[in-house]
Amino acid sequence: MTLDARSVPADALVDCDICIVGGGVAGLVLARQLIGHGARIILLESGGLEADSATQALYAGENVGLPYFPLDDARARYFGGSSHKWHIPLGGGRVGPRLRPLDPIDFEERDWVPHSGWPFGKSHLDPYYDRAQRVCQIEPPTFDPGEWDDQKARPQLRLASDEVETIIYKFGLRELFSQQYRNEVAQAGNVTTYLNANVLEIQTDHAAQSVTRLRAGSLDGHQFLVTARLFVLATGGIEVPRLLLLSNTVQKNGLGNQHDLVGRFFMEHLHFWSGVFFPRTPEIIRRMGLYNDIHTVNGVPIVGKLALTEKVLRREKLLNQNIQLFWQKMADPEKYPLIHSPGVLSFKEMCSALADFRLPTHPVDRLGQVLKEMPNIAAVAWRKVGRKIGAIPLLDGYVFANMTEQVPNPESRITLGPERDAFGQNRVRLDWKITPQDIASVVRTQAIIEKTFQGADLGRVYRPLRSEEPPGDLHGGYHHMGTTRMHVDPRKGVVDSNCRVHGISNLYIAGPSVFPTGGYANPVLTIVALSLRLGEHLEAVLN
Ligand SMILES: Cc1cc2nc3c(=O)[nH]c(=O)nc-3n(C[C@H](O)[C@H](O)[C@H](O)COP(=O)(O)OP(=O)(O)OC[C@H]3O[C@@H](n4cnc5c(N)ncnc54)[C@H](O)[C@@H]3O)c2cc1C
The residue whose CB lies within 8 Å of the most ligand 1 atoms, and thus the one to mutate among 174, 177, 235, is 235
Cβ neighbourhood burial of 266 (10 Å; 0-12, 13-18, 19+): buried
Whether a cis peptide bond, with omega within 30° of 0, leads into 490 is no
Cα angle value 106/415/205 (rounded, 5°): 95
Cα of 181 from ligand 1 centre, angstroms: 15
Beta bridge partners of 138: none
- What confidence score (pLDDT) does residue 541 get? 97
pLDDT one digit per residue (tens) for the chain, 543 residues: 999 999 999 889 999 999 999 999 999 999 999 999 899 999 999 999 999 999 999 999 999 999 899 999 999 999 999 999 999 999 989 999 999 999 999 999 999 999 999 999 999 999 999 999 999 999 999 999 999 998 888 999 999 889 999 999 999 999 999 999 999 999 999 999 999 999 999 999 999 999 999 999 999 999 999 999 999 999 999 999 999 999 999 999 999 999 999 999 999 999 998 999 999 999 999 999 999 899 999 999 999 999 999 999 999 999 999 999 999 999 898 888 777 778 888 888 888 888 888 888 778 888 998 999 998 899 888 888 888 898 999 999 999 999 999 999 999 999 999 999 999 999 999 999 999 999 999 999 999 999 999 999 999 999 988 888 888 889 999 999 999 999 999 999 999 999 999 999 999 999 999 999 999 999 999 999 999 999 999 999 998
Of residues 14, 41, 22, 206, the one with CA closest to residue 542: 41
Please, are residues 81 and 446 in contact by the beta-carbon 8 Å criterion?
Answer: no
Q: How far is ligand 1, taken at its centre, from the CA of residue 491, in Å?
A: 28
CA of 518 to the centre of ligand 1 (A): 16
Query: Atom 47 in ligand 1: which residue has the minimum CA distance?
Result: 77
Alpha helices, DSSP H only, in 34-94?
53-56
Pocket test for ligand 1, best of 478, 513, 534 (most atoms within 8 A of CB): 478
Instruction: Check residue 176 and report its DSSP letter.
Output: I
φ, ψ of residue 341 to 5 degrees: the values are: -75, 165
**Separation of CA 86 and ligand 1 centre (Å):** 10
- Which of 268, 414, 524, 532 maximizes ligand 1 atoms within 8 Å of its Cβ, making it the mutation to test the pocket? 524
CA of 531 to the centre of ligand 1 (A): 13
Ligand 1 centroid from CA 25, angstroms: 6
Its sign, for the CA torsion 147, 152, 156, 160, is positive
Give which of 276, 186, 222 is closest to 8, Cα–Cα: 222
CA of 48 to the centre of ligand 1 (A): 15
Show Cβ contacts of residue 382 under 8 Å, excluding neighbours closer than 6 positions.
336
The pLDDT value recorded for residue 369 is 87
Atom of ligand 1 nearest to the CA of 511: 26
Atom of ligand 1 nearest to the CA of 28: 25
Q: Which atom of ligand 1 lies at the shortest distance from residue 524's CA?
A: 11
**Whole-number Cα distances in Å, 64 to 263, 429, 430, 513, 536:** 14, 7, 6, 20, 39
**Ligand 1 atom with least separation from CA of 243:** 41
Q: Which is nearest to 237 in space by CA: 84, 405, 430?
A: 430
451: left (phi over 0), alpha (psi -120 to 50) or beta: alpha
User: What residue ranges line ligand 1, CB within 6 angstroms?
Assistant: 21-27, 44-47, 74-75, 77-78, 81-83, 85-88, 97-98, 198-199, 234-236, 239, 243, 478-479, 511-512, 522-524, 527
Ligand 1 atom with least separation from CA of 55: 47
Residue 364 Cα, ligand 1 centroid: separation in angstroms?
Answer: 32
How far is the centre of ligand 1, averaged over its atoms, from the C-alpha of 28 (Å)?
11
Q: Angle, to 10 degrees, between the axis of helix 363-372 and the axis of helix 342-355?
A: 130
Tell me which of 28, 32, 55, 75 to substitute to probe ligand 1's pocket, judged by most ligand atoms within 8 Å of the beta carbon.
Answer: 75
CA of 205 to the centre of ligand 1 (A): 30
Other residues' Cβ atoms within 10 Å of the Cβ of residue 529: 23
**Claim: this prediction has a pTM higher than 0.85:** yes
Measured in angstroms, how far is the CA atom of residue 78 from the centroid of ligand 1? Answer: 10
Name residue 228's beta-bridge partners: 16
Which residue's C-alpha comes closest to atom 50 of ligand 1?
478
The pLDDT of residue 39 is: 96
**Can you list the alpha helix ranges (DSSP code H) found in 393-467?**
436-455
CB neighbourhood size of 174 (10 A): 20
Spatial distance between the Cα atoms of 443 and 168, rounded to a whole number of angstroms? 23
pLDDT of residue 197: 98
Please tell me the predicted confidence (pLDDT) of residue 52.
96
Query: Strands 98-99 and 2-4: what pairing?
Result: unpaired
Q: Burial, 329: exposed, middle or buried (Cβ in 10 Å; 0-12, 13-18, 19+)? A: exposed
